Amino acid sequence: MMMPRGGRLFLATCLGSLLVLVLYFQSITQPEPGVKTVSGPGKSRRGPLQTLYNGEQQLELLAAQRSLQGRRELLEQACLSSMRKRRVLSPEDLKHLIVDDKHSLIYCYVPKVACTNWKRVLMVLTSDGRYTDPLAIPANEAHVAGNLRTLSEFSVSEINQRLRSYLKFIFVREPFERLVSAYRNKFTRRYNTAFHKRYGTKIIRRHRANPEAEALEKGNNVSFHEFVQYLVDPRTQREEPLNEHWERVHSLCHPCLIHYDVVGKYETLEPDAQAVLSLTGVEGMLQFPTSGKSTRTDGNMAASFFKQISPFYQKKLFNLYRMDFLLFNYSTPEYLRTREMQPPLSFSKNLLPSFLYRCLYLALGR
């Protein structure tokens, strides 16, 4: 029995739409044909983005990358739920995105999340042999402007081409541990006189009752409570952007406007860094530096600092960093002492079928 003409037309339309969808997804998950791949001595190989999205290669790297892929999917879901309006990126938005044209990489650096070591690694990768050991590069040299190129230095067409075809990665950290780490480094170390003068004096002037003349002049004894008061003071962000060491990650790296292929975490730094180097194809030649710090800021240390912060200011501070907790799937810290505070919505990969939220994300613009 022949199918009615209307049914045949409907079936043909469905099959055609399915084919278009398949071709579309293949086109967006593979680098552009004209993009060069990284070449070694006497041989060529896939670029890192091709390696990540190529089925055969992904099977080999599946164990190391499963958690990275899960984080990327959770980030996409969180962006879909929280973004009310999209906007166009400006060159100012791209100043934290470091570009390695040789290995087709884009890295958004976040201060207090191992960014010094990542900059050292990228200096080795882009130096054409000038540097071979990341730890041989002094920390201050790693932060010199001009040693590494940022995406903001390119033309609009060059920016778009790199965003489409390069592996884009970011490393994040539990927001309050990162904040305490920034406070300890910038306000409790005697050598950071520039931060004491630039920020410490202002904080003491505004948030300390009856400050001593020496404190007003040097700004070298800011308490954590005063630092928190400064952060949640509405005048702070009205006057100027937050310093990059305590600015929110979503404001530095714009993860809902830029599709990051890899989301690494400070809490699993070594295996995540190794996975990125593996994708780049240099894991046998280059090792990510391990931290030798004996007093690294962790959850217990953060909790000890927050004991001196009242529930009122804890809530204000949490609201300031809420988006970072949400986007990167960090739970509300147990040490916060306010019952009114609701934890950020935690996403599960089962909330939306993978295909559905991927389609929605792409429909909004990759």
- Give the tens place of pLDDT for each residue, 265-311: 999 999 999 999 999 988 788 999 986 666 789 999 999 999 999 99
> With b meaning 16 or more CB within 10 Å and e meaning fewer, what string describes 36-65?
ebbeeeeeeebbbbbbbbeeebeeebeeeb
DSSP-assigned states of every residue in 212-240:
-HHHHHH-----HHHHHHHHH-HHHHHHS
CB of 251 closer than 8 Å to CB of 245: no
Task: State mean pLDDT over 235-247.
Answer: 95
Rounded to 5°, angle at Cα 104 from 100 and 105: 60
Spatial separation of the C-alpha atoms in residues 173 and 177, rounded to whole Å: 7
Q: What is the pLDDT of residue 283?
A: 78
- Give the tens place of pLDDT for each residue, 165-187: 999 999 999 999 999 999 999 99
Task: State mean pLDDT over 185-213.
Answer: 96
Say what percent of the chain tops pLDDT 90.
Answer: 64
- pLDDT level of residue 241 (50, 70, 90 thresholds): very high
Task: State mean pLDDT over 222-229.
Answer: 98
Q: What is the pLDDT of residue 10?
A: 55
